[in-house]
Amino acid sequence: MRPLVTRLSILALALWLSLGASALADEAPVVRDVTVEGNRRVESDAVKNALSTQPGQPLDPKKIDADVRAVMKLGFFADVAIERRGDPEKPTVVVRVTERPAVKDTRITGNEELSSDDLKEANEVKPFAILDLNVVKKSAKKIQEKYVEKGFYLAEVAYKLEDQPDNQVSVVFQVNEHAKVQVKELQILGNAHVSKDELTEVMQTKEGGFLSFISSAGTYREEAFQRDLQAIQFVYGDKGYLYAKIGKPSVSLSPDKRFLYITLRIEEGEQYRVGQIDFSGELLHEKPELFQRIQVQPGEIFARSKVAKDLFAVADLYKDEGYAYANVNPETKVDPATRIVDLTYDVQPGKKTYFERIEISGNAKTRDKVIRRELRVYEGELYNQSLLTASKNRVTALGYFETVNITTEKGSADDKLVAKVTVKERSTGTFQIGAGFSSYENLILTGQITQNNFFGWGQTLSLQVQYSSIRQLGQIQFVEPYFLDTKWTFAFDLYATEGYYSTFARKAIGGSLTWGYELNGLAQWWKWAEQLEDMRLFATYTNEFVTVTPTTTDMLLFNRFRSGTTSALRLSLQWDKRDNRLFPTRGFFHALSAEAAPPALAPSYLFGQQVNLFTRYTLDSRYYHPLFWGVVARGKLSAGYIQPWDDAHPVPISEFYYLGGINSVRGYRLLSISPSTRAGSQPRPDAELFDFAGGGNKQVTINLELEFPIFEKVGIRGVVFYDMGNAYKPGQFLSDPDHPGLALSMFKSVGFGFRWFSPIGPLRFEWGIPLNPRKDPVTGIAIDSPLDFQFTIGNFF
């Protein structure tokens, strides 16, 4: 293309000469019409609107140059020319354009290490758009930067245009990946007081090793390395070396261009300690109260991180009282001779502010009220930073959103703020049809439809079906956590189950009805109840008919295989402080319950004489804590105790405790851990005796896990675990004379597995290794497999 300015000047001069004498006359020609030629994709009106020359106006040669430039600025044309046609007194102005080609398609070639999908976001050239070379060059640069991020430090990206019919082109990006550059050696010099390990611990740039092809350790990324330099500076500042300097890094490339050698030179300087500490500015609190808020103490080594925490702690004190713009600045006085830093926190609270509005966005499905009822800040009230943070945590804990952000901006006046709650919804519905295999259950068929945010109302509706050789389940559940927008919870559960134990089969059909109340709702009567947030009291009524059938007809156990109706009321207290109800990584959950099935709830005129009467007490405690690199530590303690209501109604065998399986002590056969009783097979004195697994009236189970990411993007995480637990006979407490070799009287196991948080719900695949394998006392045949595989759907913790 010829230089634009030169061409425009020649065109303007040519038009001037073509006008001839009429341009010199007293009256200039009047434009009769304006037409556009050569355009195929761009509308003529778009070109005409860019012109200052219009029909009915005098023809001004001085505007021609500006008109050509204006049309070129539209970005659609490679060339523009303007000429006059027709009657000299009433000419027609013709704008002849040459359109830029359109992009037919784009391709990336030469990319072997990174797929086209990996580079898709970097390519901003879109098919069917008008070709813009600036966008093409920008895309080539972004593709090259993508390679640098992945460690291909020497990658080169060029482009070429391939002509296609109908004034179209194909944009081809040509990649020369070269070899991936790996950091072979990272040398740090001058670090006399801070070890290399302490510095490299905060760096993303690492030395490559034998397994670098798996972990990507040793990959060099320029942006990450620049952040590393800042991180090293922070480490020294946090150890009191205020004037530590990092020289310009020395980076050299090996002759074969495969390895980098990096050398960092550090001048540490002197270490400083904290001297006097004081407060200045507009102090709305007494200094002793402010001193209680800070961590930094006189005489200790100066640490920037502690000072930063102090700034936030003091500012939050003011922000919790409505001073949203409270600002705390550290003023330091450094004495190089004594290496002492005097520190003054200057406080400027600003004005008290109020929430003018609370705006919610991003919730295409979830109703506003589902989010608003979790907020602890309200329109018209004073700004409060702690309550704003608590609001974010509570909305996140719902589990309905991938991200939750709450920001503030100035309202209609200086003392008003607008809080903006922005969420990104995640899929909360699951539809599952699957099959699995267990060492003992063989084929497992499952089907489940669950919606944890039913129609965006925050309700849970679940329909579940499971089938295997030893258990079957059909269940429908519904939970409304805020019944009619109150503190009340309403839930119901309908089910039919069948399970096969070692000595009997249990069938049950029934349901339950639950009402609960969040105890902080009592604050309207008792102020202290405000502290009971996330604590709920539940009352659940359960009614089910249980059928118990012994596995062999010659078994003699008086009054143990009782079938009948269970009509029970359970009171439970729950305290839930998990950061996410569906996928928790931090916090705890505690539940304590007492259940009673008394005669008053099972009158004979309704349920007949076959009723199950008992009392039961249960503890369920779970703890979650994030460690590092996405690893989450989890702990679970469950305990239970059941006793008969009276001597005439012993606890039926179907209500006793049996452990083992993927949801209790993994590695042991499902429901196989049970105390045994010597029983006779026939009703005569000389009948043969055998060990009968009769279940325990007490149980304790402890589960410990470490869950870690494997392929985080697709939701696959690994797990290693340690389980221990046992069920105990009546009259025994945490002791098992049948297995005297058990440490702590508990069966133990270790194991591993992986979990896939799939689009249709969480799937668990786990292998358990029993540490106390059992053998049949008569035959000597092993009861437990050396490695037990089990599969299930749903979360364990």
- Distance, CA of 754 to CA of 717 (rounded, Å): 6
| 371 and 286 share one domain | no
Partner residues linked to 164 by β-bridges: 168
| 76 and 12 share one domain | yes
How many other CB atoms sit within 10 Å of the CB of residue 171?
A: 24
- Distance, CA of 670 to CA of 441 (rounded, Å): 8
Query: And the tokens for 638?
Result: 């469950």
Whether the pLDDT of residue 342 is over 90: the answer is: yes
Contacts for 383 with CB less than 8 Å, ≥ 6 apart: 319, 322, 323, 324, 352, 353, 354, 355, 377, 408, 417
- Distance, CA of 610 to CA of 377 (rounded, Å): 54
Task: Identify the band that residue 211 occupies on the pLDDT scale cut at 50, 70 and 90.
Answer: low
Whether the pLDDT of residue 680 is over 70: the answer is: no
Whether the pLDDT of residue 761 is over 70: the answer is: no
- Contact (Cβ atoms closer than 8 angstroms) between residue 664 and residue 639: no
Nearest to 453 by CA among 365, 568, 560, 353: 365
| 296 and 360 share one domain | no
> What CATH code is carried by the domain that includes residue 377?
3.10.20.310
Question: Over the chain, what is the mean pLDDT?
Answer: 85
Q: Which of residues 68, 83, 99 is at a domain's end?
A: 99
| 277 and 160 share one domain | no
pTM (two decimals): 0.65
| 47 and 121 share one domain | no
Q: Following DSSP, what letter does each residue of 445-470 receive, concatenated?
A: EEEEEEETTGGGSS-EEEEEEEE-SS
Digit-coded pLDDT (tens) for 214-225: 445 677 777 788
- Distance, CA of 218 to CA of 225 (rounded, Å): 11
| 510 and 559 share one domain | yes
| 196 and 70 share one domain | no
Instruction: Tell me the range of 125-139, 243-257, 412-426 where mean pLDDT is highest.
Output: 412-426
**Mean pLDDT across 44-56:** 86
Whether the pLDDT of residue 213 is over 60: the answer is: no
Whether the pLDDT of residue 439 is over 60: the answer is: no
Place of tokens 């905060």: 202
Q: Which of residues 378, 410, 425 is at a domain's end?
A: 425
Q: Which of residues 47, 64, 99 is at a domain's end?
A: 99
| 522 and 560 share one domain | yes
Q: For residue 210, what is the enclosing H or E element?
A: none
| 484 and 618 share one domain | yes
| 129 and 157 share one domain | yes
Whether the pLDDT of residue 385 is over 90: the answer is: yes
713 three-class SS: helix
| 392 and 537 share one domain | no
DSSP label at 340?
E
- Distance, CA of 542 to CA of 62 (rounded, Å): 92
Query: And the tokens for 740?
Result: 């005297």
Place of tokens 């209500």: 655
Contacts for 335 with CB less than 8 Å, ≥ 6 apart: 275, 341, 342
Task: Identify the band that residue 209 occupies on the pLDDT scale cut at 50, 70 and 90.
Answer: low
Place of tokens 């006779």: 680
DSSP label at 722?
E
Nearest to 271 by CA among 244, 305, 298, 310: 244
What is the span of the domain harbouring residue 337?
A: 273-348
Digit-coded pLDDT (tens) for 123-162: 888 888 888 888 899 999 998 888 877 767 778 899 998 8
Which position has the higher pLDDT, 106 or 780? 106
Number of independent structural domains in the chain: 6
Nearest to 115 by CA among 84, 138, 147: 147
| 605 and 690 share one domain | yes
